Amino acid sequence: MSSVNPIQIPSRLPLLLTHEGVLLPGSTMRTSVDTARNLQLVRSRLLKGTSLQSTILGVIPNTPDPASDAQDLPPLHRIGTAALAVQVVGSNWPKPHYTLLITGLCRFQIVQVLKEKPYPVAEVEQLDRLEEFPNTCQSREELGELSEQFYKYAVQLVEMLDMSVPAVAKLRRLLDSLPREALPDILTSIIRTSNKEKLQILDAVSLEERFKMTIPLLVRQIEGLKLLQKTRKPKQDDDKRVIAIRPIRRIAHIPSTLEDEDEDEENDDIVMLEKKIRASSMPEQAHKVCVKEIKRLKKMPQSMPEYALTRNYLELMVELPWNKSTTDRLDIRAARVLLDNDHYAMEKLKKRVLEYLAVRQLKNNLKGPILCFVGPPGVGKTSVGRSVAKTLGREFHRIALGGVCDQSDIRGHRRTYVGSMPGRIINGLKTVGVNNPVFLLDEVDKLGKSLQGDPAAALLEVLDPEQNHNFTDHYLNVAFDLSQVLFIATANTTATIPPALLDRMEIIPVPGYSQEEKLEIAHRHLIPKQLEQHGLTPQQIQIPQVTTLTIISRYTREAGVRSLDRKLGAICRAVAVKVAEGQSKDAKLDRADVAAGEGCREHVIEDTKHESVSDATDLALPPEMPIVIDSHALKDILGPPMYEMEVSERLSQPGVAIGLAWTPLGGKIMFVEASRMDGDGQLTLTGQLGDVMKESAHLAISWLRSNAKRFHLTNAFGSFDLLDNTDIHLHFPAGAVTKDGPSAGVTIVTCLASLFSGRLVRSDVAMTGEITLRGLVLPVGGIKDKVLAAHRAGLKRIIIPQRNEKDLEELPSNVRQDLSFVPASCLDEVLNAAFDGGFSVKARPGLVNSKL
């Protein structure tokens, strides 16, 4: 060996104590520094020192976990590796620590520990010389047989790997250029070896010993590799490449380790996936994409994040029902029976659905229209959608769109995104497993918009029968045919549905129910359903019709039946407790009977009674069956009634009238209040009114001012100019709710007419209608919901625009019978109907009042 330019390490070295990994000379390692001693060392030597010397450390391996022994210096391994700190990276999370990149230079031996705190420093003796070994024939001779043998094995190992991989080619070059003495250390750190083996190599100070110990490790590696190659198809270049990319992991596969099994399973999975792709009936374009992706997957190391992504993608592609569908069962008569059985009333909706199904029966691959059920909550829109699927014998899937504000929810993310997923449509198809399900797009009116795009726009493509046979989800990136899917949408209002989306759907209004309809729904559907859910039978509980009516009118105020359903649920729960208590008491009695025998029966009953009284007073006796829910029981269970009939109370002063409003939650009655005071002709409007409603108020005042003389309306000073020295305040209660629309026009006129005439509006009358400056009454929408709301509130006379008379046909006959309707074409007719005895010029009893 000729030595050229030997590197000398300092004779005193600060010691870095590591407890995981062994650094060998010639290799590089990343180590985490988080113990107090090591942190001190890094701070005072590496971060403050500026000379090259200060970056040389003595790395002592195999220290017991330093955290467990913070105070005293633990026993140190005798031999360590002098190392150069190449990089220091600091971080404060999760706790302050550094990560060091260190390169091993040579072995050293501790002669004496010089100081222990704040970090240990030792006097050391260098064991290896860091010298350049020229690769000459002479030096090779000197290395002897051992080094030659080692070299051969090393070359054999490297050649088993794929040379086209740059890392392997580089290693091959290094084998020739590096000094042979350095090879055992370098190869030991590259191939799969345990820490214990590495420690043995570190301790092997004599070169001969080192070669002897490393050769078996190399041989083991080579054998493992051979075995692996045998189990793989020999001719596949790709496999060789994969082995090359993951040499260390694969080489370590000594026969039948757990990891090996995992790997084989993985390979089996890929083969299965490939088979599935071949067997699947996906369109050609999708098939091509899958074949391309599976080829990529085979070449990919499993540790790559993309591996899992590609696999998930392929699994989805295989699972999607490209060509799988159910056969439609189209029997209109059966459909009618099923719809009638599942839903009471809703005649218009059921009629339209049956028409739709009938057309489907005649023309099998009907394109569109998309039905959209619009109505207040709890009127059965979703459940009709479910029934449609049942009648057709199709799978049903509900997609809740409320609050969705990201278009990728509909269309999926591109696969380049971290955590990318397909959209809800494709996900739904995967869930149902057929390509012709019924998809219920619930709450389309509550789609949001955000920086992540407009989901309503993404829905346009889905719902357009002309385009949806080619729907492309971003995640799939190939077209999927949605034309067989039957889409039904539901919404509470059309106002917030974007016009383009609205245009693609056929709107079917679903109005709220009358009290009688609710009563029928409760007894035919809700009560039996609740009894079943609570494990009760009609022999155990009885809810009379009067009780249901009380719940409808005094415990709920809604257009649908959801709240009613909840209240019935509460009653069933309360009864279930009683029944269960009764049963357990019966059981107790029975057990006691058996134990004590017939002879002492009375005695036992005495005892049991005594016990139950002391346990809880209401456990006294099992309740008598059936438990009938009368008004007392109702009050006990649901508490005092929530809604009172307040109408007549609120109409006890002039200047109040009842209007009818339509909201997405159904119809509502609305009190309009007016008052006047001294002022300079100001009109104040409160109650969160929209522009249209404010304009209606101005119209109403103008019409009354221009007709004041005709009706003898005067202000507080007796003047026919109603705003002379007078301010008017109009308020629409439920002030927190925004209100708009022209239909309150007639109510405002009536309310002001009452204020200026000093007469009370009839307490049983409600009205709706738009007004013009000339005093005409124009038609408005939502008549059915409004009338039902008035009926719920117990009103008797409804003033509606004459041109809305035709809408009354939609009302249930009992509601029509209960109410009297006054169709009005002008404001005179409205006022005549709203006040007792009419509101003509002659009717002037209130004038006296108003003049006072």
Q: What are the residues binding ligand ATP (CB under 6 A)? A: 343-346, 377-383, 442, 490, 492, 521, 525, 560-562, 565
Answer whether the bond into residue 528 is a cis peptide, omega within 30°. Answer: no
Nearest distance from C-beta of residue 345 to ligand ATP, angstroms: 5
Nearest distance from C-beta of residue 385 to ligand ATP, angstroms: 8
- Is 96 annotated as contributing to ligand binding? no
**Closest by CA position to 381, among listed 316, 310, 296, 441:** 441
3-state secondary structure 710-776: HHCCCCCCCCCCCCCCEEEEEECCCCCCCECCHHHHHHHHHHHHHHHHCCCECCCEEECCEECCCCE
Nearest distance from C-beta of residue 738 to ligand ATP, angstroms: 20
Of residues 54 and 563, the one with the C-beta less far from ligand ATP:
563
- Is 379 annotated as contributing to ligand binding? yes
By the 8 A CB rule, do 12 and 76 touch? Answer: no
Of residues 415 and 562, the one with the C-beta less far from ligand ATP:
562
**Closest by CA position to 414, among listed 335, 313, 271:** 313
Which alpha helices (DSSP H) does 558-676 contain, by range? Answer: 562-596, 601-615, 631-638, 647-650
Active-site option among 147, 743, 757, 850: 743
- Is 806 annotated as contributing to ligand binding? no
796 is catalytic: no
Of residues 260 and 443, the one with the C-beta less far from ligand ATP:
443
Nearest distance from C-beta of residue 555 to ligand ATP, angstroms: 16
Q: Name residue 350's amino acid.
A: K
Active-site option among 240, 668, 786, 850: 786
Nearest distance from C-beta of residue 698 to ligand ATP, angstroms: 36
Q: Which two tokens stand for residue 705?
A: 């001012």
> For 807, which DSSP code?
G
437 by Cβ neighbours in 10 Å (0-12 / 13-18 / 19+) ranks as buried
**Closest by CA position to 250, among listed 235, 234, 262, 268:** 262
- Is 737 annotated as contributing to ligand binding? no
Q: In Å, how far are 40, 103, 189 from 99, measured between CA atoms? A: 14, 13, 20
- Is 528 annotated as contributing to ligand binding? no
Of residues 561 and 693, the one with the C-beta less far from ligand ATP:
561
Of residues 497 and 833, the one with the C-beta less far from ligand ATP:
497
Q: Which two tokens stand for residue 144?
A: 């002897």
Nearest distance from C-beta of residue 676 to ligand ATP, angstroms: 42
**Closest by CA position to 25, among listed 219, 153, 183, 218:** 183
- Is 496 annotated as contributing to ligand binding? no
Nearest distance from C-beta of residue 447 to ligand ATP, angstroms: 14
Of residues 530 and 550, the one with the C-beta less far from ligand ATP:
530
Q: Which residue minimizes CB distance to ligand ATP?
A: 380
Of residues 502 and 527, the one with the C-beta less far from ligand ATP:
527
Residues paired with 85 in a beta bridge: 102
Q: Which two tokens stand for residue 176?
A: 């020739």
What angle is formed at CA 830 by the lines to CA 829 and CA 835, rounded to 5 degrees?
A: 105
Rg (C-alpha) for the chain, rounded Å, is: 44
By the 8 A CB rule, do 543 and 414 touch? Answer: no
Answer whether the bond into residue 812 is a cis peptide, omega within 30°. Answer: no
786 is catalytic: yes
- Is 382 annotated as contributing to ligand binding? yes
- Is 535 annotated as contributing to ligand binding? no
Q: Any idea of the CA torsion for 190, 35, 53, 87, to the nearest 10 degrees? A: 50
Active-site residue numbers?
743, 786
Q: Which residues are annotated as a binding site for ATP?
A: 375-382
Q: Which residues are annotated as a binding site?
A: 375-382
